[in-house]
Amino acid sequence: MNVSELIFAVVQQTQPTGRYARERRWPTLYIRAGDAGATAFEFYKNEFMADNFVPYLRMLPVLAICRIGQADPDTITEMKRRFISSNAGAEVFNDYKSALVVALMKLGEDSFLRENTQSNMRARARDWINAVLANKGTTEAGPNNCMAEEWTMTDYLGSAMAPSLQWVNRAWTTRPQNQAN
Name the nearest CA neighbour of 55 among 78, 82, 88. 82
The pTM for the full model equals 0.86
What's the CA gap between 42 and 103, in Å, rounded? 16
93-147 pLDDT, tens digit each: 788 999 999 999 999 999 999 998 877 778 888 899 999 999 999 999 999 999 9
Band of the pLDDT at 180, cuts 50, 70, 90? very low
Quick: pLDDT tens for 21-75.
Answer: 555 567 888 888 899 999 999 999 999 999 888 888 889 999 999 999 999 999 9
How remote is the C-alpha of 8 from its chain's centroid?
17
**CA-CA distance, 6 to 163, in Å (whole number)?**
23
Q: Where does the pLDDT of residue 79 fall: very low under 50, low under 70, confident under 90, or very high at 90 and above? A: very high
